[in-house]
Amino acid sequence: MSELAERFETHDPGEKQVAEKIRCDACPVMCYIADGRTGACDRYGNVGGRIVRMDPLTILDHAAETGGAVVPFVAEGEAWNGELVNTGRRFVTAIGAGTTYPDYKPAPFIVSQEVEGVDLVTVVTEGIFSYCGVKVKIDTDRHIGDETGIVRSQGEAIGHVTTGEYGSQMLSLGGVHHLTGGSKAEGRATCDALLNLCNRKPVELAIDGGATVIVEAGKAPVIDGKAEHRMRVGCGSATIGMFATQWRGLVDEVVVVDDHITGVVSEHQAGKVLGWEDTGIKIVGRRSTPGRYFKVSEPGLGWGGTTISDPLSILGDWNAKKGARPGLSLLMVSTTGEQFAYYELDDELKPVEKPFPERLQKSVGLIEENCEPALCTVLFIGGAGGSLRAGVTENPVNLTRSVQGLRTYVTVGGAPVYVWPGGGITLMVDVTRVPEGAFGYVPTPALVAPIEFTMRRDDYVRLGGYENEIRSVEDILAKGGEYLNPRRGTGAPVNNPWPPLAQLRRARANGAE
């Protein structure tokens, strides 16, 4: 049983002996917590009879941009030393902020900051996301499972294989149906996998009828025990287009083996334009357009994401009437340049493998060189259009309209997000841009993610915000908040812009109208 599952098991909100325990109200589980202990999610504890958020509130310092170096914690009651985080480029994230739950109260921190003459407000809270999941992009040509194939973690269904993208296999994991719509075990396994993926830990996923993949955000995928190194340079047809000139004069025919579009240079438009001679080659597959073939094999873990280990298996008989002749040279290569072989036709027009010639090494090397490293990308996707909006404004739909109208800028742990067009506030964020360990969970089950809303102060007041709750950064640093946890400063991730800057530019643009 996973650590997370054990906590689900051991938690009992209906415990009878609650006399010396105090209730945590930060989620619907309502743990009763004994002094010195933490609740089921480990995020809140009973410290001397008071509910305390156990992780520090994280404040990013964008001037330092140290890439994550953390300055020492500032204990409750101590003054902020101001050395690192006193630059005017601070951002109070929601990491460690606590939640708005129950939703009748304002968000834990509503922060004001004047930036380049504009008064901004950032509303900071840790959202509880029952409607959430991750989209996983796995850079590989290898077939890891059929579209709609079930993806499992700890034996439970937690998602499915979705539409493949260019050079990548895609998974859609989590979502409310797996979190809450199946068995308890399914919900727990889903929550566990999502939490680990979002916190950039490795997770082993097994696909029904397909491969076992270890996914870790920002790292190479491991497919059936083998680490993937390269993302393909392009499909077989694109590879022909890119490298046809490199091969001209060095070899008579080139076949780029690909599960999707296998390319043949002598027939391909690129080859024709360059004056490539016919070779009488025959590809076993479905011809789409000249020099582009679909379905030369079944999808698999072999050459170019096919099942092929012997590339000659996709060739039919060579036709002498169409240019085949003894001695004709043939290069066969995969879309990553990892597999390649060289052949010459014998007197009976059968290809015979020969030592790979020096003259072709450079072009194969160029394919490899043009391949990017294979990575796993994990995007957290969550719906913030629900009750947490009540912690921002007394009239929740105003927040939705403000986000949709680009007057409110949304971040997750200070990282920029993509907000889907249309109704609600459905956002996506690259978890590698969010400070490490930012995601949590509650056993309902649901994920907890930091979320910040930044806007002009006058806009905030106009949309029905809690004006009386607005505090300065200095005050927050010095006094903290309701959950009594310390504050810590950390250098902002180097590739994240200072969150309100985009908002500021928009505000200026609006003001100029």
The structure tokens 């076949």 sit at 255
Residue 29-68 contact track with ligand SF4, rule CB under 6 A, x = bound: xxx-------xxx-xx------------------------
Q: For the chain, what is the radius of gyration of the CA atoms?
A: 28
Of the candidate spans 24-32, 259-267, 283-291, 295-303, the one that interacts with ligand SF4 by CB under 6 A turns out to be 24-32
CA-CA distance, 299 to 461, in Å (whole number)? 57
3-class secondary-structure state, position 86: coil
Interface with ligand SF4 (CB under 6 A), residue total 13
Residue 406-445 contact track with ligand SF4, rule CB under 6 A, x = bound: ------------------------------------xx--
Of the candidate spans 27-35, 52-60, 279-287, 337-345, the one that interacts with ligand SF4 by CB under 6 A turns out to be 27-35
Q: How many CB atoms lie within 10 A of CB 12?
A: 10
Residues 6 or more apart whose Cβ sits within 8 Å of residue 246: 362, 363, 366
CA-CA distance, 180 to 198, in Å (whole number)? 19
Question: Which of 55, 338 has the CB closer to ligand SF4?
Answer: 55
**Residue 379 interacts with ligand SF4 (CB under 6 A): yes or no:** no
Question: Which of 44, 409 has the CB closer to ligand SF4?
Answer: 44
Between β-strands 203-207 and 212-215, what pairing exists: parallel, antiparallel or unpaired?
antiparallel
- The verdict on whether omega for the bond into residue 102 sits within 30 degrees of 0, i.e. cis, is yes
From 4, 26, 124, 375, residue interacting with ligand SF4 (rule: CB under 6 A): 26
Evaluate the CA torsion angle 40, 45, 50, 52 in order and state its sign. Answer: negative
Question: Which of 319, 444 has the CB closer to ligand SF4?
Answer: 444
Question: Which of 99, 490 has the CB closer to ligand SF4?
Answer: 99
Question: Which of 304, 443 has the CB closer to ligand SF4?
Answer: 443
The structure tokens 């979002």 sit at 198
Question: Which of 100, 426 has the CB closer to ligand SF4?
Answer: 100
Q: How far is the CB of 29 from ligand SF4 (least distance, A)?
A: 4
Question: Which of 11, 471 has the CB closer to ligand SF4?
Answer: 11
The residue number with the shortest CB distance to ligand SF4 is: 39
Distances in Å between the alpha carbon of 92 and those of 1, 58, 106, 337, 487?
36, 7, 16, 47, 10
3-class secondary-structure state, position 431: helix
Q: How far is the CB of 41 from ligand SF4 (least distance, A)?
A: 3
The structure tokens 């460690």 sit at 96
For the chain, how many helices (H) and strands (E)?
Answer: 10, 32
Residues that bind ligand SF4 (CB under 6 A): 24, 26-27, 29-31, 39-41, 43-44, 442-443
